[in-house]
Structure 1
Amino acid sequence: MHCHSLLLDIGNSSIKCRELTRTAREDSGMDIVRWRPLMTFADVDALLAYLGEKKARFNSVLIGSVRSDSDDTAILKRLTPYATTIELAQTQSAALGLTNSYANPQKMGVDRWLAMLGAQLLCGQNFLVIDAGTAVTADFVVNGLHQGGWIAPGFSLAQEAVTGHTARVTQAPSHQHTIAFGQNTEDCLHFGCLAQLHGIVHQAKLLAAQFGEFDVILSGGDVDRLRSLNQAARNEFIFVDNIVLFGILRMALADMSLDNAQKVARSLLI
C-alpha cells in the first residue's frame, strides 16, 4: 500500500504545506513515512497554481484552517479535483489521547488544538507548546489533559498596537533577536515587544513548573525571535518551524499507536 497525502496549514497570512508519503512494509513492520520540505504559499491561488502545474493527485488532503467557514467551504471545493478524500480538522473535546479543557471546544482555534496534537508527538507526557505567529498562544498539557492556555498579540501586532495609537512612535525593521535597551524610539519599540514575547515564555514556564518536569516546544513565524532563549536555558527548548503541521501529521497517522506515531514524527524532525 502506498498513500500520498497533502497536509495544509491555512493561516491568516499564508498557507504552509508538506507532501506526505506512507508505504506499507512487506515484512509487516512499521510503515515507511516520509515528507517533503515545507512549502509556503501566499494564498490559495498560488497553491492551486502549483498543484495544477505538477498535475498533482493525492489519496487525501488534510487541512487545518483558521479561516472563516465560508472561506473553508470555498477552499474545499477548489481542492476537490486534487484528492480522493479531504478532511478539515476540527477542535474536539477529546481525541488521539488528548483531552480539551474547554467546556465548548469549538471556541478554541483549531491551530491550538493541532499544535497540542503535534507537540504530543515530540514530547513526553507533560509539555508546554508556544506558537508565536500573528497571535502568540501558549497551551499546557499534563498526561494528555489540557490544563489551559493563553492568547496574546504576536510580535508584529504588538508593534502595530503602539504605532497605530501614538503619533510619535514609529517602527523600523530589525534583525536583533537578543534583548537590549534601545537608544532610539524604533529600537525601544522593537526590544520592548521582543521582551514581551520572551516574557510570555518565561511566565508560562513558571506557571507550568508546579506540575513538575515538562518539555517546551517553541514554534511559529516568530520562532527565530525566541532562539536566543536557549543561550541562557541550556538548550531546554524544542524548536519546530511549524508545529501545526505535526498536528495534522497526527491526524494522518491516526491508525497508529501514539508510540509508533512518535517514532515517525521524531524521525521526520531530523
Structure 2
Amino acid sequence: MSRQRWVMDLGNTRLKIAPLDLDGRVGEAIALEHRGADLAALAARLPPRMEVAYLASVADEGLRVALLDLLAARCQRISLARTQRRWGELRIAYADPARLGVDRFLAMIAAHDHARGTHPGTPVLVCGVGTALTLDLIDAEARHVGGRIAPSPTLMRQALNQQVAQLPPSGGRYVDFAVDTPDALVSGCVGAALGLIERSLADAQTRLGAAPILYLHGGGGEELRALLRQARWSPRLVLDGLAQWAAIEKPA
C-alpha cells in the first residue's frame, strides 16, 4: 500500500522498521543492517511510498540525516520522536531529558504500559542490549529512578579483538567454566552482562522493597534470553513505544 504509517528505530547497527495497522498496532518488523552498508541498498528495502514515517534515532548525525533524505523522497510527513520529561504517568529522572536516549525513553513507555496492564503497581526494569547494554528502573509510582549503561557482550568482544588480535571477535558458547578461549570469551563477556543485570535487579529490590519485572529487548538480547528465565522477552519494545508516540503526536 502506498499510504501507510511506519515506525522506524535507527540504532547504531540496525534500522528496524514496521507498519502501523489501522488501530495503531505495530505490524511485522524487519531489521536492516546499516553499518558499512551502501545507503542505496538500504533505500531499495524501504517502502517506496509512505504517508508518515515516525523515526526514533540514536545513530550519528550523518547517518540520521542520510536516512531523513531517503525518507523525504517517499514520505508525505516525517516525525522525529524525542525524549520528554513526562509521558502520561511516566516521569523521567534526568534533569535534562534530551540527554536520555530516545530508544530508552520509548522502551520505558512500552514496558510501563504493558506492566500496568498485567501487574499494576509493580516496578519495572528495562534492559536493552544493542551496541550498549542499558538498564532503566521505573518504580511503582511510574517514576524513572535512573539507569546504567555498559558495553554489550558483542562490543566487549570487539574491543578485546581490537586490542588483542588473537582473541576472536565471535564464536564460542556460554559455559560456567570454559576450557578453550572462544568459550571463555563468551562466558566472560556474557557473564559480565548477566552480573550487571542481576545486580541491578537486586539493587532495585533493596531500594524499592519489591522485585521489578524485567523486560529484555534489543538485537543482543537473544544471547541473554535463555540465561535470564525471569525476563520478559520483548524484541519490539522500542517500536511499541514509538507506536504510542505516534498515537498522540500531532503534526506541527
Which TM bucket (shorter chain)?
0.7 to 0.9
Hey, what does 1:249 align to over in structure 2?
243
- Residue 243 of structure 1 and its aligned partner are, at CA, apart by 1.6
The alignment's TM-score, normalised by the length of structure 1, stands at: 0.79
Hey, what does 1:259 align to over in structure 2?
none
Alignment: residue pair count:
235
Q: Which moved more, 1:87-96 or 1:183-192?
A: 87-96
Matched, 1:38 2:29: yes
Contact 1:121 1:250 in 2 (8 A): no
Distance 2:169 2:80 in 1: 38
What SS is found at the alignment partner of 1:183?
coil
1:127-159 Cα deviation digits (max 9, x unpaired): 100001110000001122110000000011111
C-alpha spacing 1:103/1:40, structure 2 compared with 1 (3 Å): same
- Residue 90 of structure 1 and its aligned partner are, at CA, apart by 1.1
1:78-100 Cα deviation digits (max 9, x unpaired): 21232232111112222233211
Hey, what does 2:15 align to over in structure 1?
15
What SS is found at the alignment partner of 2:28?
coil
Distance 1:167 1:132 in 2: 25
Unmatched runs of 5 consecutive residues or more in structure 2: none
Moved over 3 A (4+): 32-35, 43-47, 166-172
Hey, what does 1:64 align to over in structure 2?
56
What SS is found at the alignment partner of 2:216?
strand
CA RMSD of aligned residues (A): 2.2
What SS is found at the alignment partner of 1:21?
coil
Amino acid of the structure 2 residue aligned with 1:244: V
Hey, what does 2:90 align to over in structure 1?
98
Distance 1:184 1:109 in 2: 38
Task: Within 5 Å, give how 1:116-131 maps onto structure 2.
Answer: 116-124=108-116, 125=121, 126-131=123-128
Distance 1:14 1:42 in 2: 4
1:185-227 Cα deviation digits (max 9, x unpaired): 2211111111111112201110111311421101111112222
Amino acid of the structure 2 residue aligned with 1:209: Q
Hey, what does 1:165 align to over in structure 2?
163
What SS is found at the alignment partner of 1:244?
helix
Pick from 198, 201, 209 the counterpart of residue 202 of structure 1.
Answer: 198
Amino acid of the structure 2 residue aligned with 1:73: V
Contact 2:87 2:109 in 1 (8 A): no
Distance 1:133 1:90 in 2: 19
Distance 1:108 1:243 in 2: 16
Task: Within 5 Å, give how 1:83-94 maps onto structure 2.
Answer: 83-94=75-86
Contact 1:171 1:190 in 2 (8 A): no
The alignment's TM-score, normalised by the length of structure 2, stands at: 0.84
Unmatched runs of 5 consecutive residues or more in structure 1: 23-31, 256-270
Distance 2:114 2:42 in 1: 28
Distance 2:25 2:94 in 1: 34
- Residue 33 of structure 1 and its aligned partner are, at CA, apart by 4.2
Amino acid of the structure 2 residue aligned with 1:191: S
Distance 1:230 1:168 in 2: 30
Matched, 1:187 2:178: no
Contact 1:12 1:67 in 2 (8 A): yes
Distance 1:135 1:56 in 2: 33
What SS is found at the alignment partner of 1:8?
strand
- Residue 230 of structure 1 and its aligned partner are, at CA, apart by 4.4
Pick from 218, 227, 238 the counterpart of residue 232 of structure 2.
Answer: 238
What SS is found at the alignment partner of 1:37?
coil
